[in-house]
Amino acid sequence: MKLLRYGPIGAERPAILDADGKLRDLSDVVTDIDGSAFSPEGLAKIAAADLSSLPLVDGKPRIGSAIARPGKFLCVGLNYADHARETGKDIPEEPVLFSKAPTSLCGPNDDVEIPRGSDRTDWEVELGIVIGSRAKYVDEASALDHVAGYALVNDVSERRFQSERGGQWIKGKSHDTFGPVGPWMVTKDEFDDIQNIDLWLDVDGERRQTGNTKTMIFDVAFIVHYISQFMTLEAGDIIATGTPPGVGLGMKPPTFLRAGQVVTLGASGLGEQCQLMVQA
């Protein structure tokens, strides 16, 4: 299933993409695309719905974040060896964890703001894990049982705020609009192998990133298992799993985003995003 949210900012409604690629309103089935919808019971309720009886959504409405504001928006850093090398970092022996503020969440095609005082706003195409049930001290073998599905994420980053302003990475990761998610959350049953997903990103039509999740240092199952040793994951939480090489920081010379540029990105089975960069 492909679950999504549509409508004005702050007034999004739940929806599902039917077999013909048409948008169907899910408001009579679930209240939102959130933790309760991602639970095994919630997904079973949606799966049992008669899609042909659900209202069609007219026109081309704004698509919101595929996930209502999560309790946790977590990220894994330096999870592709070639990306770690391009940024001058050592390949990590354990997953590097950080978070994005939930207020950074936005729709997949919303404008993305370049923060005031920023001169190093960067792009990162990533696979996002969506948690479906509580995970605490789970083993690696059962970790995927706690996953509801996956979504495309652009982990937008301000590199100076991230690395040169003291403290932790969260300052460079959490500006409003720095977390486009979607266009939809795809349930895990639609993937034969989540460790073989192509990822790509363009800036103004020029390819900057090309990668595949098979080259991740730490795979999806290990990430869920690992994080659950430090904190409880709950339904609706999202984990961005790291980016392949090709970020602006790794270019020679480093190249960053400017207002007026357009970033497009996508992943096999997860859809595409398109964002206009604007000045905050």
Q: Cβ(241)–Cβ(227) under 8 Å? A: no
Stretch 179-200: mean pLDDT: 97
Residue burial 244-264, b: 16+ Cβ < 10 Å; e: rest: bbbbbbbeeeeebbeeebebb
Instruction: Return d(Cα 100, Cα 176) in angstroms, integer.
Output: 10
Model confidence band, residue 252 (pLDDT cutoffs 50, 70, 90): very high
Q: Does the pLDDT of residue 3 top 80, yes or no?
A: yes
Stretch 149-161: mean pLDDT: 97
Stretch 199-218: mean pLDDT: 97
pLDDT the model gives residue 1: 97
Q: Does the pLDDT of residue 189 top 90, yes or no?
A: yes
Per residue in 22-46, pLDDT (tens digit) is 999 999 999 999 999 999 999 999 9
Residue % of the chain over a pLDDT of 70: 100
Task: Tell me the pTM.
Answer: 0.96
Instruction: Return d(Cα 108, Cα 243) in angstroms, integer.
Output: 17
Tell which wins on pLDDT, 57 or 82.
57
Q: Does the pLDDT of residue 60 top 80, yes or no?
A: yes
Residue burial 13-25, b: 16+ Cβ < 10 Å; e: rest: bbbbbeeeeebbb
pLDDT the model gives residue 185: 98
pLDDT the model gives residue 134: 98
Domains of the chain: 2-53 (no CATH), 73-279 (3.90.850.10)
Stretch 152-170: mean pLDDT: 92
